[in-house]
Chains A and B, each alone.
Chain A
Amino acid sequence: MKLQQDLHTPGEHADQEAPLAGYNFAYLDESSKRMIRRGLLKAVAIPGYQVPFAGREMPMPCGWGTGGIQVTASLIGKEDVLKVIDQGSDDTTNAVSIRSFFKRTTGVATTTHTKEATLTQTRHRIPEEPLREDQLLVYQAPLPEPLRWLEPSEQETRVLHALEEYGIMNVKIYENIMRHGTIAMSFDYPVRVAGRYITSPSPIPRFDNPKMNQCPALQLFGAGREKRLYAIPPYTEVKSLDFEDYPFTVQHWDEPCAICGSRTSYLDEVVLDDEGTRMFVCSDSDACQATLAKKLAREAAGKDTSEASDE
């Protein structure tokens, strides 16, 4: 049995050949990539608007980051340095799987350091390290529609967006406050982009929402299963929804990270035993390591100086 891939004779286009024999660079064919890039251009032109696109089947399941993967695949070039995180960490199983997919199909350099990456694909977190203008942040968005839980029909929600008819969202937040005394949304906390579209930030914790505002990096969102693209251009106003008398707040912890001692990062809770003993550690593993390295260096330096003074 001959597959399509077998028809290519190796070496014929040696310079263009992707590392994974017989497959295109970054898996997708060039016309699909162009289609996605066109969609992204439209998305950048209308910040926060969900652009329908003809999502392709990727060799990973829908709901496992295929939207982000398609965006990354259509943008990645040989010079790029890729970072993939899931839940803030480079070592979570799905991040490992996506990173190895791009390693296999593009051969580009990968990194775990936010600073070094030109393109970061993320699920559910924004790195703690502030992003720069020359960096891209690609989000995997499972449900791009922020109004979906209020209105199940896609037809209806598109109309609501078109008319800027966001009353139901305000009512929801109001009801939240009436019932719970606070806005009871902990992640995927809706934002208003450039004063126009209400947009889902993807299921990042609301802790990360402020990082989206006036971010120097271009932020792109891909929803593969729902076949939608959207974007937040650099230096765009992103406002988390709230009321004047009930302003938006972020999560905070009473204790610092047990590893690096950071008090400014998002912490995951780790259960240690059956008795409910638990510790809190940074969810962004790269930032945690960096802080720890700095702390150790400082301690070592302090030790040196103290030793020096002893003498």
Chain B
Amino acid sequence: MYVAVKGGEKAIAAAHRLLRQERRGPCDIPELGLDQIAHQLKFAVDRVMAEASLYCPNLAALAIKQAAGDLQEAIFLLRAYRTTLPRFAASLPLETDCMRQSRRISATWKDLPGGQILGSTFDYTHRLLDRSLEGNASCDPAPCAVQETADNKAFACAAESQESPETPESAGSAGFRDTGSFPHPPRLPRASHALEQEGLLERSWSAYEQERQGRMEDAQTLAAIADITRDPLELPCDRPEDRPLRLQMLARADEGFLLGMAYSTQRGFGAVHPFTSELRRGLVECSIVPEELDFPLVIGELEVTECVTISRYTGTALDPCLTQGYGLVFGNNERKALSMSIADRALRAREMEEEETGPAQNPEFVLLHGDNVDASGFVQHIKLPHYVDFQAELSLIRELRKARANKAQDGAKDGAAKEGTETSGGAQA
């Protein structure tokens, strides 16, 4: 008669078996390879790496496969794995000026030093379903052939000869040539650099960095920046010096959430009217200074998308100028990089003495609700049994109803009694 909640252990094991089966699907369909996911579903892989804050395409592909394409689940898998990893060094700041670029556009300058590179993009495609992808089309090598850019040639040639090619550009970045045996890609300053120098644009962090003595000192100041994965977040988190913290949170925040936040500011909930000063994507070297050595070592390359948006500022905190918002995301993800830069700018409302008119300007709101591992866990926890609390609610409601019914009855009785004596006016009770 009575079926208690016994047998949970068996039921869970069976449920997970079923899940594995469904993930695999019918056996006559070939199983997905990780390389297929990593190369043919690259945007998914990039998103998972960014929001898990762990750069490893192979593991991200594994997570996506294991999660059967549920990206938030994959992000969660990779995050949980990330916690188990030891921390052996903090990298130096990425030199995004020295990026091997695959795309770089500016919406504020028609032409700029280094030029515009359209690169691969969904922009300007007509969103028509391509029926030719329906079948197993064989790979057509012709359109895939990469046009050798000067950068790539220089890089390839250096890889062969192990010598730095003395191109005019790399000569210009003399200070950085001694950091490795490979040549750095030419230093390509931000589009906004000229404006910054003129003082029309508030100075960016990178401008400060350049003024610093050397990169070694940066490593020390960098170590002073709190790490959101190791230190508790302290609110209100709205001071200028909290910006690195906010950017860390935004970089791993849910893409959809950030998109919504950015969109809300554009529609008027918190006024940011941004221009894309620059959006670039490419590979940057990641370096560390090991404890036992006093020079940086390159440990690998990361693909990142970086975005600087600028917006007009006529408030009271600064002279009339343009202000910056910054976005940096692992892999190829322009939607998120743009959203992040807009959200970053919006979150500086306090610093800029702006009136807070939208949720996107409130750090507590944005930072505490943007993490999809947190959010998805908590929203879905209501699937867990709540028998006890529900029982408590149930008995409370019964109690309240009983009390109210009793009161109404008493009231009616009183009313009747009054009516008997005064003949009128007792029914309000």
Is this pair of chains taken from one and the same complex? yes
Asked whether A182 lies within 8 Å of B2 as measured between CB atoms, the reply is no
Contact segment of B40-48, B139-147, B203-211, B376-384: B376-384
Asked whether A24 lies within 8 Å of B380 as measured between CB atoms, the reply is no
Interface hits, B77-106 → A, CB 8 Å: 79-80, 82-86
Of the residues A91, A225, A253, contact of B5 by C-beta under 8 Å: A91
Any A CB within 8 A of the CB of B127: no
Please measure, in the bound complex, the distance between the C-alpha atom of A155 and the C-alpha atom of B237, giving whole angstroms.
10
Also in contact, A267 and B391, with CB within 8 A (given A180-B403, A227-B232): yes
Interface hits, B32-67 → A, CB 8 Å: 34, 58-59, 62
Could you mark each residue 363-374 of chain B with 1 if its beta carbon is under 8 Å from any beta carbon of chain A, else 0?
Answer: 010001000011
Also in contact, A205 and B388, with CB within 8 A (given A57-B83, A182-B403): yes
Interface hits, A113-156 → B, CB 8 Å: 123-125, 142, 153-155
Asked whether A269 lies within 8 Å of B391 as measured between CB atoms, the reply is yes
Interface hits, A80-139 → B, CB 8 Å: 86-89, 91-97, 100, 123-125
Also in contact, A92 and B385, with CB within 8 A (given A180-B400, A227-B233): yes
Contact segment of A9-17, A59-67, A164-172, A230-238: A59-67
- Total interface residues on A, CB under 8 Å, equals 72
**Contacts of B231 on A, CB cut-off 8 Å?**
54
Asked whether B381 lies within 8 Å of A61 as measured between CB atoms, the reply is yes
Asked whether B232 lies within 8 Å of A53 as measured between CB atoms, the reply is yes
Could you mark each residue 268-292 of chain A with 1 if its beta carbon is under 8 Å from any beta carbon of chain B, else 0?
Answer: 1110100000010101010000000
Please measure, in the bound complex, the distance between the C-alpha atom of A187 and the C-alpha atom of B384, giving whole angstroms.
16
Closest-CB distance, B62 to chain A (whole angstroms): 8
Residues of A whose CB lies within 8 Å of any CB of B are 1, 3-5, 23-24, 27-29, 32, 52-59, 61-64, 66, 86-89, 91-97, 100, 123-125, 142, 153-155, 158, 180-182, 184-188, 203-207, 225, 227, 251, 253, 258-259, 266-270, 272, 279, 281, 283, 285
By Cβ-Cβ distance, the 8 closest A-B pairs, closest first, are A61-B377, A62-B377, A63-B381, A63-B378, A186-B392, A52-B232, A186-B396, A59-B80
Pull 7 A–B residue pairs with CB atoms less than 8 Å apart, ordered by A: A4-B84, A61-B373, A95-B8, A142-B381, A184-B396, A187-B393, A269-B394
Residues of B whose CB lies within 8 Å of any CB of A are 1-2, 4-9, 11-12, 34, 58-59, 62, 76, 79-80, 82-86, 229-236, 364, 368, 373-374, 376-381, 384-389, 391-396, 399-400, 403, 407
